[in-house]
Amino acid sequence: MTPIVLHNINKSYGTLPVLVQFSITLPPGNTNLMGTSGIGKTTLAFILAKLTAPDGGTTTGLSERLPAMVFQEDRLLEHKTVLQNLLFVKPDPNRAVSLLTQAGLAGVINKKTATLSGGMKRRVAVCRALLSDHDLLILDEPFKGLDEITKPTIINMVRRHIEERPFLFSLCITHDPAEAEAMGGRLVVM
């Protein structure tokens, strides 16, 4: 399978350069990305998700990919129920309930998302991304706000999702080396 290649990518916001001649190759499977705050990790995620375009450089293998993303912010439909948030991206109630159950959210499926704790909202955001149709999974600090008991469960759930899909490309942005190690795959430091 052809990798996703970003070569000499440039991206600025106004006069502020964020990515300068940045290159990365993503093979199928998981790639973990670490780097200091402000170095351009989220900008890279937005380019991969096709939410912003680079100012320069080339991309190969990205145009045909269908991305799903867990943003740094949960970006949930607060006025909808937990289940409705998942069904918004794909009308597959059986799979949605299965994912929510795996994430320990079976008891809140019919609650409004606005009533949930921060960690519960984070799990809903992860489940929503996993439910959607995608072959590129972009995870921008997906485990932040999860307690130490819940975090390993969600990491294993995401890792299983990636491992069961040999055609899937995944980029996990994290500041935590232990999360990167638990996710497996390659490690790239910006």
3 state SS of 154: helix
**Predicted pLDDT of residue 128:** 98
Could you give the C-alpha distances from 36 to 22, 88, 105, in angstroms and in order? 15, 34, 33
Its pTM stands at 0.95
Q: Give domain limits for the chain.
A: 1-66+134-190, 75-133
Separation of alpha carbons 122 and 170, rounded Å: 18
pLDDT in tens, the chain (190 residues): 789 999 999 999 999 999 999 999 999 999 999 999 999 999 999 999 999 999 999 999 999 999 999 999 999 999 999 999 999 999 999 999 999 999 999 999 999 999 999 999 999 999 999 999 999 999 999 999 999 999 999 999 999 999 999 899 999 999 999 999 999 999 999 9
What digits encode the pLDDT tens for the residues 49-77?
A: 999 999 999 999 999 999 999 999 999 99
| Residue linked to tokens 């402000």 | 38
Fold category of 1-66+134-190 in CATH: Rossmann fold (3.40.50)
Contact 135, 167 (CB under 8 A): yes
**Predicted pLDDT of residue 1:** 78
| Residue linked to tokens 């795996």 | 102
β-strands 136-140, 169-173 pairing: parallel
Separation of alpha carbons 62 and 4, rounded Å: 6
